[in-house]
Chain A
């Protein structure tokens, strides 16, 4: 216990340096003025919290700009003008015959399509998630089309009880209807994948034959594919596409150079700091308290956005039905999912509330990090859309209406922050995604069951 605090203090002191406004001198950075002006790209993050929230202390009573912070949203109070609280959105297609309380809602959260009920391995989300749609449009301009982060391993097994493979609860990002993205849960591996090259003494060795090796195995996969049946071929396409994607990354020297040139001295300083924090974190026993781990993942996400390694990321605080032990929070004596079935008992509701407030606190941390980074006259946060959401409102009732959603950032100047909006009842969640897509000039005519854009959130 003691040790954790030491780390946090040390880290805070070190972090101070990066938190003060940074001198703006990078020529390759976004923003700038005059002829060197380059409009910063829009970054997107989708943060998922399982098990819902305390329904009575979430939505501010006052609509519009003068809203008050409810107990669960209180950690965001310093960011009033950076956020929008969005009420009464609902993912209609998470409700279907055979749908259960959790899996059907989490797996469809970013796709807005009903998942196929199965306890077999024939999983199908029937949709592509919004983050992957963004990645499909802007991904080729960055090193990584998208990044998928989380805290927990995939939950294995099948929930025979409700008739769903648990895998559904462990993925919100779907590259294709049949293929969930794998998520990184280890800060060390996540960091190294992006930034190892820039840390003294951690550089990977020179590997001149990577391309030929990848070519050879791609060839293997192609000839193998010809001798297989249809569904095996589909399976092998995943392999082929992975090769394409990695080849594209390592052969796109322009992107690589662009990326390297964006690692400014400031970014490098921050890289070294985060790298060291990860080292310290790894040395400790990863106990019940996941605050430090969450923040490290957010530090990495911030760095990825800052250096334009990627423009879209998802983050799962836990898998669906997560029963994380939250006793590390003051006043909480149990586990997340159990507490979410609070039966309206005041003392359990209080614990439930504190757990969501902890999540919002971490969200606020990420917002703070992004806001501390300048991009020309704006901040990284201004050029982002950082969404926090759960797939349920009240976990006790598995209620899919009026989802708890907060959207931070101005999306490059398109979003109208600083307001509490309550949409007409049961407004389609897909409308929000459609609006977010349009706000970054991804002009798809429709997203799942969308039926309008939400002009209310736009400037």
Chain B
């Protein structure tokens, strides 16, 4: 089928190309693995629905083109970039690796594949392939699949806020519990990465113990749990005593058990964020009774309260409290979450905490699948001060600035003594306040990229050299020079993307690509050379020239051409985010050329160029926020939902409120699919 000569030439050309590009496909290997989860769904679902509407027959039309233009480099014997397209002999296999094929289409569409050097596809082949593969993928997605979410333990943040809302105690969970990792979208609320170990259990136990101790020592907090101090009146005791004379099995009036029920059951159902089951009620009351019986050395109300305290402790370490439970009814295919489960998803998404009474009421009356109700709730929840928790939890993890609040050094303390803990906390706060404002006030998420204001208290204002802020309160401050407007001009981001002793334009460039545009540059080749750390070299050469040298290496160029200019445009900000015009001897040259040849000068122009990438920015927000809201990585099967979210942003001037409404109304947010694996019994 192939002319040997042509094949040889192709191989040669391809191999040259792949030296630069192969790694791009490596990332898709992991995507493939993730997509394997989707396989089983598709196999299940394709039986239920007859798929049609494909533009071209895969075997008759598409495979011949693929085998001519793609297989020479991507076959079983030669998997360039780890990709073997020959493997997909049937359409079903293609569908099962949808995520990979989405990338294949993308590469063809942007004409990155086949490699330029090899000659482009003919117009006919180009449209046939792009439309053909696209239509196969789209048809396969008509059957909706909400994906599944692994049971999630409360993150330390969520634990902190849930305890605060439940009992009013401000417990520092983050420094007390062993830290968690994060998975998927890079957030700490992803089930698979939230482990439980004996050490954690011990800490949960001790935490519950100290929380209960605090409650017992704080009358007003305790009263919220036990509103009326328990005691039997003299006549009640008398009646009970008389009853006991006549029978061993009598109904005690105002018994401690029944009084405890009134306390424990409402408390536990709030804590478990749902109604209690009969056996759960019995268990908790039973535990109370046995403790109460043993505490006979105490007199009421202390005896009653001390026994209640043990029940509260139990509730606080129960898996029903520590995990966000979504039970799985025996159902095939997608099914809607229960109303209580929706209430939980909503409140942990927008408040990082448990639902409030209104959400509970709506769950109780079964109204949380009503889109009008959902819309109203999102608006209400965003207007609630608790939305600031979402602003903080999401933005600091998304931007990667949460390490500012850890006790570990970022900038070198000898070289940058002013970058101390109070300043770090202030810069962290600036970003949170800013994000919160965009979310609730400005209502345009593009202002995260560029604006002419920021938020500052006196510390931040001094640091940036802003006028008019005299106290410790954060307030909105207009910027005369818009270089700083948006996250790219914030000390928090600039410092955390730098090394302790110098800036890293590469890190910053990579950060812009990954966090703002959602593009991941391929990994560096195995043998990489990093820049010299010699401070003298920097002062004399200037970082830009050093990087130019670095980029002269062909193995590095292809990616660094994308990353470096983005980072170099921010070189006016030093490793702790202060403005500078020179490195010492050499002046800072913040000019750059994007890969497509567009020139720019400094952060202001760089931001304007970035703002042109609206579609990428929209997709990035959609992916990050959906992943955060669901507690799992986004999958190929989320594509329809993501497309709607993208459109919502693009059509509504990046309005966060409309976007979040769209998100909570989305199919994966409200629905669930059962685990396809067989349940183990018992």
Q: Mark A residues whose CB is within 8 Å of B.
A: 97-98, 100-101, 116-123, 148, 152-158, 160-163, 165-167, 170, 175, 179-186, 189, 193, 207-210, 212-214, 216-217, 219-221, 223-224, 226-233, 235-236, 238-239, 241-243, 245-246, 249, 286-288, 323, 325, 327, 333-335, 338-339, 341, 343, 345, 347-348, 351, 396-398
CB distance from A382 to the nearest CB of B (A): 30
Mark contacts of B622-648 with chain A using CB atoms, 8 A cut-off: 1 yes-contact digit, 0 otherwise: 000000000011000000000000000
- Interface presence of B397 (CB below 8 A): yes
Say whether B179 contacts A120, CB under 8 Å: no
Contact at B183–A121, with CB atoms within 8 Å? yes
Q: Name the CB-closest residue of A to B29.
A: A98
The segment out of B90-98, B198-206, B347-355 that lies at the interface is B198-206
Contact B183 A120 (CB under 8 A): yes
**Alpha-carbon separation in the docked complex, A338 to B202 (Å):** 38
Q: Is the CB of B201 within 8 A of A338?
A: no
- Enumerate chain B residues within 8 angstroms of A208, measured Cβ to Cβ: 294
Query: Are B499 and A334 interface neighbours, CB within 8 A?
Result: yes
B527 within 8 A of partner (CB): yes
Contact A233-B33, Cβ < 8 Å, known A182-B200, A239-B319? no
Provide the residues of chain B in CB contact with A170, threshold 8 Å: 181
Say whether B418 faces chain A, with CB atoms less than 8 Å apart.
no
Among B82, B188, B279, B500, the most chain A Cβ lie within 10 Å of the Cβ of B500
Residues of B within 8 A of A238 (CB): 195-197
The answer on a CB contact under 8 Å between A242 and B196 is: yes
Q: Is the CB of B412 within 8 A of A157?
A: no
Cross-chain contact A98 with B535 (CB below 8 angstroms): no
Contact A230 B679 (CB under 8 A): yes
Q: Does B297 contact A (CB under 8 A)?
A: no
Bound Cα distance A166, B187 (Å)? 12
The 10 closest A-B pairs by CB, nearest first: A121-B183, A229-B675, A121-B192, A167-B181, A230-B677, A182-B178, A160-B520, A238-B196, A341-B530, A334-B533
Query: Of all chain A residues, which has the CB nearest B634?
Result: A120
Q: Is the CB of B205 within 8 A of A246?
A: yes
From residue B547, how far is it (CB to closest CB) to chain A in Å? Answer: 15
Question: Is B108's CB within 8 Å of the partner chain A?
Answer: no
Q: Is the CB of B484 closer than 8 A to any CB of chain A?
A: no
State A116–B34 Cα separation when bound (angstroms): 11
Question: B319 contacts A224, CB within 8 Å?
Answer: yes
Extra 11 A-B pairs, beta carbons < 8 Å, given A157-B186, A232-B328: A152-B408, A158-B186, A175-B197, A185-B178, A220-B318, A230-B680, A232-B150, A235-B153, A287-B413, A351-B533, A397-B526
| Chain B contact residues: helix, strand, loop or mixed | loop
Q: Which residues of chain B have a CB within 8 Å of any CB of chain A?
A: 26-27, 29-30, 33-34, 82, 148, 150-151, 153, 175-176, 178-186, 188, 190-193, 195-202, 205, 209, 279-280, 283-284, 287, 290-291, 294, 310, 313-314, 317-320, 322-323, 325, 327-328, 397, 400, 402, 406-409, 412-414, 499-501, 510, 514, 520-524, 526-530, 532-535, 632-633, 674-675, 677-680, 682
Residue contact A246 to B181, C-beta cutoff 8 Å: no
B530 touches A338 (CB 8 A): yes
- Minimum Cβ distance to chain B for residue A284 (Å): 11
Return 18 A-B CB contacts under 8 Å, by A number: A119-B27, A157-B400, A158-B182, A158-B186, A163-B30, A163-B523, A185-B179, A213-B205, A216-B287, A217-B318, A228-B151, A231-B675, A231-B677, A236-B323, A287-B413, A288-B412, A333-B501, A338-B533
* Contact assessment for A163 and B26 in the assembled complex, using a CB-CB cutoff below 8 Å: yes
- Is B202 touching A213 in the complex (CB atoms < 8 A)? no
Inter-chain contact B633/A120, CB cutoff 8 Å: yes
With both chains docked as a complex, state the minimum distance between the C-beta of A373 and any C-beta of chain B, in angstroms.
26
Query: A335 to chain B: closest CB distance in Å?
Result: 6
Is the CB–CB distance between A165 and B183 below 8 Å? Answer: yes
When chains A and B are docked, how far (Å) is the Cα of A238 from the Cα of B150? 13
A343 touches B499 (CB 8 A): no
A233 to B680, Cβ gap below 8 A?
yes
- List B contacts of A181 (CB < 8 A): 197, 199
* Chain B residues within 8 Å of A235, by CB: 150-151, 153, 191-192, 196
Nearest A-chain residue to B280, judged by Cβ: A220
| Chain A residues whose C-beta falls within 8 Å of the C-beta of B530 in the assembled complex | 338, 341, 343
Taken together as a complex, chains A and B put the C-alpha atoms of A267 and B307 apart, in Å, by 38
In the complex, how many angstroms separate the beta carbon of B506 from the nearest chain A beta carbon?
A: 11
Task: Say whether A154 contacts B151, CB under 8 Å.
Answer: no
CB-CB < 8 A to A239: which residues of B?
196, 201, 319, 322-323
The distance in angstroms between the C-alpha atoms of A184 and B500, with both chains bound, is: 25
Quick one: which of A233, A286, A339 has the most chain B CB within 10 A? A233
Q: How far is the CA of A158 from the CA of B679 in the complex (A)?
A: 30
State in angstroms the CA–CA spacing of A98 and B523 once bound together: 11
CA A97 – CA B279 in complex, angstroms? 51
Bound-complex Cα distance A154 to B195 (A): 12
Which of A148, A220, A224 has most chain B Cβ within 10 Å? Answer: A220
Q: Is the CB of B199 within 8 A of A182?
A: yes
Q: How far is the CA of A350 from the CA of B228 in the complex (A)?
A: 71
